[in-house]
Amino acid sequence: MIEQDQLEAQDRSDPLASKRDEFALPEDSVYLDGNSLGCLPIAARERARQVVETQWGHDLIKSWNKHSWIDLPVRIGEKIARLIGAAPGQTICCDSTSVNLFKLLSVALKMQGERCVVLSVQDNFPSDLYMVEGLRQLLGDDRVRLELCAEEAIESAMHDEVAVLMLTQVNFRTGQLLDMRRLTERAHALGILLIWDLAHSAGVLPIELDACHVDFAVGCGYKYLNGGPGAPAFAYVAQRHHAHLHQPISGWMGHASPFEFDAQYRPAANITQLLAGTPPVISMSVLDAALDVFRDVDLSQLRHKASALSELFRALVEQSPHLRDLRLLSPLLPQQRGAQLAYRHPQAYSICQALIAHNIIADFRAPDLLRFGFSPLPLRYVDIGTSVAVLIEIMRSERWREPQYAIRSKVT
């Protein structure tokens, strides 16, 4: 059994321990839901106040130039680029993950000529699949066809009619980590373009988009990047594809010279063509400040701590006889998963609500998954010990059976 003093010793030797001080965290709570919504960085809170009170409140429209509002999409994109292994000029911050995916699917399908199949996995995040269906309804069955396979059958499901392979690097339910390099190489050998969704990997593990020769990628700003609820997303397009970058949402900010107000659309020749409407300055500014917590972080240390936290949680759960009804759905080996663990239980929702009521903020996904996300910057090893102790008590006492924990809220 791991003792409290051992956990405290791990925290004292943690090279990322001081990063916790850069977050505004609720007292007496442990937050294990960074894979759904990241914690609030203090710098982000201060930037929000500055943008609203000074930049907007006092400087008004002058702030587009004075405070470089107009440059936020590119500036944020370059901060994210460091975290995803992208050279400058290939990453932009804009819109939502779904909207960016719609754009890149359109680009990739157009590049592939007669090929029309988009291949993905059955357990991909539903919104990603919805974007393909939306394109199919728009363009017709002869131009877009969605094929789904099991996660373990991706390689065997590839064939010469596949135009695009659309994958999420870390499965949102199970936490399974896919081999980006291997799958990208196999797809390219068959002439297939790749779009990777990095929603559950950016900010917790090293990603090497350029080194893996990835074609396109998308990701969100509100999970492990801590940009706040509904924070803008990002998109990546490899430099070699910029000449083919003709996305369908041709808004004025994607114009080569938006302030010429030309009646004819002339797309920008670089990554800014992915922009459409006016940037949401307040939310982008918050994300911009939030990303500064990563400024001096070694990504290998980030990955090591995330894995160590999840392994500690898994080991403590495994040791307790009161938690034998929780069935681990995530891969057993930490190198095969992202920064989360998922457990299956018929009453996962009620257990999750009981945990939240006792200040352990976990996460539920239908139909029966209890998820725990391990954001390495704000979390401590002692937090993991506390969390499992509370979980043990809830299961031992069967407190989750209390009727208030079964009431379903609109957001689960």
d(C-alpha 29, C-alpha 361), whole Å: 7
Tokens 């063509």 belong to residue: 273
313 is catalytic: no
Indicate which residue of 197, 288, 363, 383 is catalytic: 197
CA gap 408, 53 in Å, rounded: 38
Q: Cα–Cα distance between 381 and 361 in angstroms, integer? A: 16
Strand partners, 341: 372
DSSP state, residue 169? S
Query: Which residue among 23, 172, 216, 222 is the active-site one?
Result: 222
371 is an active site residue:
yes
Catalytic, 125? Answer yes
Active site includes 222? yes
Two structure tokens written together for 220: 């969100």
Q: What are phi and psi of 344, to 5 degrees?
A: -100, 135
H or E segment and range at residue 340: strand 340-344
Q: Of 23, 31, 102, 125, which is the active-site residue?
A: 125
Q: How many CB atoms lie within 10 A of CB 68?
A: 12
> Are 199 and 171 a contacting pair, CB within 8 Å?
no
> 282-285 — which CB contacts under 8 Å span 24+ positions?
282/48, 282/51, 282/52, 282/56, 283/227, 283/228, 283/230, 283/231, 283/232, 284/72, 284/73, 284/76, 284/93, 284/232, 285/47, 285/48, 285/51, 285/55, 285/69, 285/72
* Active-site hit among 305, 371, 374, 381: 371
**Cα(79)–Cα(58) distance, rounded to whole angstroms?**
28
Catalytic residue among 223, 303, 305, 380: 223
- Can 234 be counted among the known catalytic residues? no
Catalytically active residues, by annotation: 125, 197, 222-223, 371
